[in-house]
Structures are given as C-alpha cells and as structure tokens.
Amino acid sequence: MYMKKKRMLNRIFAFLTAATLALPVGMASSATASNWTDTEYYKDYSGDGGDVYTEWRQKQDSSSVYICHQGSVDVFAAVLVSGYNGIYSGSNGMYGKGSYVGVPTGQGFYIINYVAESFKSDYNKGNYKYIRLALCPTTHNQCSLYGVWSPDSI
C-alpha cells in the first residue's frame, strides 16, 4: 500500500514539475508574436482631397490592423504595403484590389488586410513586411487627423 501511494505521489510531482517548466515558455512566445503596440499619429490635412500617411511600421502576423482615430471628422483609411503599389484592406483586400474603409471617430476599429497571406513566400524572406495607413477625412476641409494605430492586433 505504501509503495502505491509513493508511486502515485511521484507521478503527480513529475506532472506538476513539467507543467511548471512549460508555462514560462508558452508565455514568452505569445508575448512576442506581433507588433500590436499603439503608435500615435498627428497629421495636418490641407483640404486638397489627397491622402496623408502614417509612418511605416513592420507587419508581423496576419491579424487585422488596429486604429483608434480621434478628432472632429471621420476618416477613410487604407493599408499600403512598402514595395508594392496596391491597397491591402477592406473586403476585397487580397491581391491589391482593396478599398478604403470608413473609420468612425473615437472608436477602436480593426481593418482586415491580407499582407501576410498574399505575400507569404516573399513575406517570410523579408520583403513586403512594412505597412502604413493612408488617411483621408470624410470632408475635404482643412483639419487635423490624430489617434493611434498598430500594424497587428491582439
């Protein structure tokens, strides 16, 4: 009887030890999986009907782009890919046939994009890894556009 209890306790101890050692490894890998840190943008818009652009940032996974736009007017936003002349956002975003999407003021918004999926072979080689947002207000009057965005989302 004593041997059975000892054997059972040894198995439980071995399981708990293995689980404890595996926990930090899983946590470390999930914390570095994407570029989801928000970056502020502040852009003056001249009212000329053109776009203003955020800075280039690295896209690290296939998640949606996140934006929380502030200010007095809503904007249209599109995901642009460095080294490729095409828009990768909206419902038709794959293969450069994307569109601008409406982003309401004061709300967190996720923009679907297919940067990682469309450029899978090149993406893993280091090409087409940087994106930025093209922003255009819903009204073509002089204004300031500001908020936060990230290339990846949680």
Multiple choice CATH, 39-150, 3.30.1490, 2.60.120, 2.40.370, 1.10.10:
2.60.120
> 36-88 pLDDT, tens per residue?
999 999 999 999 988 999 999 988 888 889 999 998 899 999 888 776 665 66
Distance CA 142, CA 15 (A): 64
* 3 state DSSP class of 144: strand
pTM: 0.69
Domain ranges of the chain: 1-32, 39-150
The pLDDT value given to residue 84: 66
Q: What mean pLDDT do residues 110-114 have?
A: 83
For 131-140, letters b (16+ CB in 10 Å) and e give bbbbbbbeee
Distance CA 33, CA 55 (A): 21
The pLDDT value given to residue 39: 96
Please determine, for residue 30, whether its predicted confidence score (pLDDT) is greater than 50: no
The pLDDT value given to residue 33: 57
